[in-house]
Structure 1
Amino acid sequence: MTSRFLVTERRAIVGLASLYASRMLGLFMVLPVLALYADHLEGATPLLVGMALGGYGLTQALLQIPFGLLSDRIGRKAVIGGGIVLFIIGSIVAANATSITGIIIGRCLQGSGAVAGAIMALLADQTREEIRTAAMATIGLSIGVAFAVAMVAGPLIADIGGLAGVFWFTAALAACGLLILWKLVPKAPRRMSHRDVGIDRRQLRATLGQSDLLRLDFSIFALHLILTACFTALPFRLEALGFAPADHGWVYLPVMALAFLGMIPLVIVAEKYRQMKPIFVGAVAAMTLILLGFGELATDRVTLVTLLWGFFVVFNLLEATLPSMISKLAPAGAKGTAMGVYSTSQFFGAFLGGTLGGALSQGFGVQSVFLGAAAVGAVWLAVVWKMPAPRHLSSEIIALDEQSMDRLDTLLERFASVTGVEDVMVVPEEQVAYLKVDRQHLDVEALASIAGNQWQRTDA
């Protein structure tokens, strides 16, 4: 089988990556501006502003799994389209709000369009097993780009149109997303469950009982708690050091670009040279120290911008490596379930971070936000300190042909007997086998002889 993208696969990947990125761009653009531009809103307090920042995370966390399951029943496009409509309604509510309560309602409505799982499931429906990892990586890259663009675009749009302008822009982006969904993304030829993408309720208890996966769930929870909490205070710290709100985007632009460059060699060391645990633990420790620096040392522009660069190096590094670690640790066929729990933890972290940051800012001042975030970082460091180094296992998804389906009774044993295959799950209803393999020791020829022309080596 060819590993090159088919025309329909390419259309699906481009369309869904654009859809995902535009949606995340709309959510992220509010982060660097809401705290600064909320002072004119009726009833605005630091606590309520923080709740508005993180409000989308609560509804995302509560609804993403139900939306994913609903898409299995009534269709991916219908659920995704409905989620986008909810996002548009939330954006319009927030754009017209004259009180902080209206902003909170709008942000929660934005988050209620929790279609991330449905988008990933549709992508899985549209792609063959051997190219699905590359397709998923494209989605991941689009999220990283969206975050970087949002940090720059949010302040620039707010300078022109105020806070309402940011929300109107996100509504327009979402409307474009509807066009992309219906015009660019082709109709899926099938709708199936995919254990590498979706939640499998039968595996949920076992996944929640795996301590190493729980450490990573706590990690993404803490990371997004820290991120959202910091943005209840960072804009004010920039303003206090002479950066006008209109110029914040130009501060974030070079910082984000240089942070991306600073992250790349660390990712290479972690993945290529198999130093995942020391890089991971070192990043958590560095994040904790940077947060202390924000609270105690950031009294001049150079120090603040340097710390900001370090913050985004670490943030981007962890955003890139945590999903990779989940993939390495999840049992064969349980990656989708593990990622579902992981994503839910991320959104709960964003909600609690906004609320905690706002509460600390209101009760004790801006500096306390950074010190509180540093305390979270210290707890995080304690949680992961004794975590065993993850084994560098990769995932393989092998489509089973009719001949393979006729010998299911021996297929599992044959896969398991191949040198380098560490775990295997055969799922007859999906007609696929999920494998975890050690690439350094994998007997490629033996695996190919079993899988036949249904398998080509990937880099999952």
Structure 2
Amino acid sequence: MTATERRASASLASIFALRMLGLFLVLPVFALEAAKYPGGDDPARVGLAMGIYGLTQGLLQIPFGMASDWWGRKRVIICGLLLFALGSFVAAWAPDLNWLVAGRSLQGAGAISAAVTALLADSTRDEVRTKAMALVGSSIALMFALSLVLAPLLASYIGLSGLFVLTGLLALAGVAAVLWWAPPEPPLHADRPRGSVMEVLKAPALLRLDFGVFMLHAVQLAMWVAIPALLVGAGLGKDQHWQVYLPAILLSFVVMGVTLFPLERRGHLRAVFLAAVALIALVQLGLWWAAWSGPSLGLLALLLFLFFCGFNVLEASQPSMASRLAPAHARGAALGVYNTLQSLGFFAGGAVGGWLTKIAGPEGLFAACAGLMLLWLLVAWPMRTPGRHQAAATSRPAEPLPGQPVKL
């Protein structure tokens, strides 16, 4: 990476990390703490307060992504972070569950994922973009693991309101990172073409990636409907689950670093990608076996480690490929569609995963997840990736690049 690429990767990963840490800190304790509010005795309303974030986030990813194509990435990112901070402070002040729902919906309205990812793509060459996306994905996964450790401790001292205040402050720190750390974005030209959603939806290769990110995050969230109970059944208390999650996540980063990047440089990205999809399918079958035969802590720890190995590879490579496929003038729109499908995957995974667990038990849930991953493997099989000479031909080493469509 050049100095500009390192700066872009580190600064934009920090923006994601600050925002996601604030979000993740709330999730482990939200349901228990929200029950203490007036109206919190209604589980459906508590569920709405938790899930409304994902709904508004999914609805606004495409408008925010397109706006970043038209008016500039940084303006949109700052507006989104300010909306997220405002929602956090409203939720911190909320006297009842209705206002908590309003605050959470405002948080979700700050849908900046597409704009941040597009800015990162603008600032990196094709051949190092997967590494840059991996840094972002790793920061998010690390914040998730960190929140599992910190959330119960912080909630006992400052409560849910205090956690929301902290979330708002972290979002404002993200604004500072955009203003004073992130590198300048490419200038907008009045005569450049404007991207549209229809242009993006006509690209089969981009649709294949959109399908994949929906499946990946639906399966990810559905898994966690049943995994905590399996860990408890294996003898690990709820407050100790981080002892499995954190080592699994950290070790998976090491595996990703020694497999994904060297193999991508050698032109084997397609093989690594498909192997990661197949690995997660095998993990689902392993979890089905664990649920059917009785959970073993060692087996569950191994399966979660293997899951994060596959998940991190896909989290790094999919947005990188999406940004390379999309023309520069429609990159925000393309990543808006991509992130919308990601949000909808979270929503579907939670809703359908809970329903499947209720009617078919964890065995049925993991069997369905294995089937979905095998379906994704079938859809992804025709994919093609550019050779090294093609990537080099579309990039320059020291400045943001105009993207060109590449067959995938």
TM-score, normalised relative to structure 1 = 0.70
Query: Can you give the 5+ residue segments of structure 2 that lack an aligned partner in the other structure?
Result: none
2:377 is matched with: 381
1:402 is matched with: none
1:255 aligns with 2:248: yes
Q: 1:171 to 1:341 in 2, by over 3 A?
A: same
**Aligned AA for 1:391?**
P
CA contact (8 A) 1:94 1:164 kept: no
- Structure 1 or 2: larger helix share? 2
1:344 aligns with 2:303: no
1:406 is matched with: none
For the pair shown, the structure with the greater C-alpha radius of gyration is 1
Cα distance in 1 between the residues matched to 2:384 and 2:72: 40
| SS at 1:201 equivalent | coil
CA contact (8 A) 1:230 1:370 kept: yes
CA contact (8 A) 2:78 2:178 kept: no
Q: 1:278 to 1:300 in 2, by over 3 A?
A: same
Q: 1:335 to 1:65 in 2, by over 3 A?
A: closer
Q: 1:218 to 1:121 in 2, by over 3 A?
A: closer
Cα distance in 1 between the residues matched to 2:99 and 2:158: 12
1:44 is matched with: 43
Cα distance in 1 between the residues matched to 2:95 and 2:42: 9
Report 1:110-129 matches (<5 A). Answer: 110-119=107-116
2:222 is matched with: 229
Q: 1:44 to 1:133 in 2, by over 3 A?
A: farther
Match of 1:297 among 269, 278, 290: 290
CA contact (8 A) 2:84 2:110 kept: yes
Cα distance in 1 between the residues matched to 2:187 and 2:286: 49
2:148 is matched with: 154
**Aligned AA for 2:384?**
A
Q: What is the root-mean-square deviation in Å for CA atoms of aligned residues?
A: 4.2
CA contact (8 A) 1:30 1:53 kept: no
2:195 is matched with: 201
1:307 aligns with 2:276: no
1:178 is matched with: 172
- Bigger RCO (CA 8 Å, 6+ sep): 2
Q: Deviation digits for residues 425-460 of structure 1, max 9, x if unmatched?
A: xxxxx9x8555799xxxxxxxxxxxxxxxxxxxxxx
Cα distance in 2 between the residues matched to 1:146 and 1:243: 25
1:239 aligns with 2:232: yes
* Bigger Cα displacement from structure 2, 62-71 vs 162-171: 162-171
2:354 is matched with: 358
Q: 1:179 to 1:69 in 2, by over 3 A?
A: same
**Aligned AA for 2:234?**
L
| SS at 1:274 equivalent | coil
Report 1:5-84 matches (<5 A). Answer: 5=4, 10=7, 15-30=11-26, 41-44=40-43, 49=47, 55-70=52-67, 79-84=76-81
CA contact (8 A) 2:225 2:350 kept: yes
Q: Deviation digits for residues 36-88 of structure 1, max 9, x if unmatched?
A: 8778752226x974x66654332222112323444677776664444334323
Match of 2:260 among 263, 267, 275: 267
* Residue 228 (structure 1) shift: 1.6
Query: Can you give the 5+ residue segments of structure 1 that lack an aligned partner in the other structure?
Result: 400-429, 439-460
Identity of aligned residues (%): 36
Count of matched residue positions in the alignment of Structure 1 and Structure 2: 393
Q: Deviation digits for residues 363-400 of structure 1, max 9, x if unmatched?
A: 44444332332232232122223x1432234263569x
Cα distance in 2 between the residues matched to 1:178 and 1:383: 41
1:215 aligns with 2:208: yes
